[in-house]
Amino acid sequence: MHTLQKLIESHAKPQHIICVLTGAERVSQQHELLESIQVQLQQLVPGCVPNLVSNIMFQKGVRESKQPLIHHSGIPQLLELLHEHVRKIEQGGLEQQREAKQQQLKQQVLQQITERRAELKKAIEQECSIKEAWHAEFVTAVAGLQQLIARRS
């Protein structure tokens, strides 16, 4: 679940999350585990309902040409859900979303560059002030030495 949380935080919108749990043929044996997974999923992605699928049931249905097994496997429903999400994304202008995201990232980077540039400029000005102060101190010391040498000559 930690990996899913990191993935959601960095890349995904909750409405783009599709959760798939395999091994649906064993759900009756592991009901408590399924409930625990569903509770954790709801905390990460509210409204997300896991899609239960059974590859074993699907393969047997395909091998034996038994439509009820194929249907009960959950895989046709998952495929339909995936197609539906793709249609929604295409209609929502995926390219526009990408461009907006790129623009947002570009603005963030430019802001960081501007801030860093201001920090560097301030640091350079401070260094120049220190250098000028040392130079003035050095010139004063050299002038003092020159006067001392001139008096002794």
Do the Cβ atoms of 82 and 18 come closer than 8 Å?
yes
Contacts of residues 141-144 at CB distance under 8 Å and 24 or more positions apart, as own/partner, are none
3-class DSSP state for residue 77?
helix
Beta strands in the chain (DSSP E): 20-22, 51-53
What are the structure tokens assigned to 96, written together?
């526009």
Q: What is the pLDDT of residues 104-135, one digit of tens each?
A: 999 999 999 999 999 999 999 999 999 999 99
Cα separations in angstroms, 76 against 17, 54, 57: 18, 11, 12
The confidence score (pLDDT) of residue 140 equals 95
The confidence score (pLDDT) of residue 30 equals 73
Bin 23: left if φ > 0, else alpha if -120 < ψ < 50, else beta: left
The confidence score (pLDDT) of residue 28 equals 67
In the predicted model, residues of the chain with pLDDT beneath 50 are: none
Do the Cβ atoms of 22 and 51 come closer than 8 Å?
no
pTM of the prediction? 0.51
The confidence score (pLDDT) of residue 14 equals 67
